[in-house]
Amino acid sequence: MSDTTKTATRTQGPLLIELVEGRNVSFKNVTFSDEASFTRFEILFRRLNRKPRQRRTAHEARTAAPLPLGTPARSISIEIKDFLEDMRRSNLAPRSVAIYGQSLAALKHLHGDTLASAVERDHIRQLWDLMLWAPKNCFTDPRYAGKSAEELAHLGRLERARPAATATMVKHHTILCRFFNSLKKAHAISMSPMDGFKKPKLELANEHRKRPRWLTNDELQRIFNPETFTPWAKHHPHRWWAPMIGLYTGARVGEVAQMKVSDVECINGRWFFAIRKTVDSDLANSSGAISRQTLKGKSSERNIPIAQPLIDAGFLVYLQDLKDANCTRLFPHLTAGRNKKTGQTNALYSQGLVQQFRKYMKALGFDRDCRFHAFRRTLVSVLSAKGVRDRNIALLTGHAMRDQSQVIDHHYRGEVPEETIRRQVIALSKYRPSVVLPVYKKGQFDEQLKDKSRHHP
Partner DNA sequence: GCAGGGGAAAGCTGTCTGAG
Partner DNA sequence: CTCAGACAGCTTTCCCCTGC
Residues 19-78 binding DNA (CB under 7 A) are none
Counting residues that bind DNA (by CB under 7 A) gives 75
Interatomic CA distance for residues 236 and 444, integer angstroms: 10
Tell me the sheet residues that pair with 329: 260
Are residues 119 and 77 in contact, defined by beta-carbon separation less than 8 angstroms? no
Amino acid at 222: R
Binding to DNA, residues 390-409 (CB under 7 A): 397-400, 402-407
- Which of 281/342 has CB closer to DNA? 342
User: With 0-12 CB in 10 A as exposed, 13-18 as middle and 19+ as buried, what is 327?
Assistant: buried
Minimum distance between the CB of residue 150 and DNA, rounded to whole angstroms? Answer: 18
Restricting to residues 78-107, name those near DNA by CB under 7 A.
87, 92-93, 95-96, 98-100, 102, 105
Calculated CA dihedral for residues 140, 144, 149, 153, nearest 10 degrees: -100
- Among 137, 230, 262, 286, which residue sits at the site for DNA (rule: CB under 7 A)? 137
Question: Least Å distance between CB 256 and DNA?
Answer: 8
Segment interacting with DNA, rule: CB under 7 A, options 33-41, 44-52, 172-180, 307-315: 172-180
Q: What angle do CA 176, 179, 181 make, to 5 degrees?
A: 105
Contacts to DNA from residues 201-260, by CB under 7 A: 206, 208-210, 212, 252-255
Give the nearest distance from C-beta 293 to DNA in angstroms: 9
Q: Are 131 and 172 in contact (CB under 8 A)?
A: yes
Burial bucket for residue 421 (CB in 10 Å: 0-12, 13-18, 19+) = middle
Closer by beta carbon to DNA, 74 or else 399: 399
**One-letter amino acid identity for 94?**
P
Dist CA 302 CA 40 (whole Å): 52
Q: How far is 385 from 261, CA to CA, in rounded Å?
A: 34
Q: Residue 108 is which amino acid?
A: K
Query: Exactly one of 119, 127, 188, 295 binds DNA (CB under 7 A); which one?
Result: 295
Report if residue 297 touches DNA, rule: CB under 7 A.
yes
Distance of alpha carbon 158 from alpha carbon 359, whole angstroms: 31
Which among 30-38, 119-127, 214-222, 291-299 is the span making contact with DNA, rule CB under 7 A? Answer: 291-299
Answer for the pair 160, 135: CB distance below 8 angstroms, yes or no: yes
Min dist. Cβ of residue 358 to DNA (A): 3
| Binding residue (CB under 7 A) for DNA from 164, 261, 316, 317 | 164
Q: Which is nearer to DNA, 17 or 376 (CB)?
A: 376
Q: How far is the CB of 20 from DNA (least distance, A)?
A: 36
Chain positions 321 to 350 lying near DNA, rule: CB under 7 A, are 335, 337-341, 346, 350
Which residue from 228, 299, 328, 381 is in contact with DNA, where contact means CB under 7 A?
Answer: 299
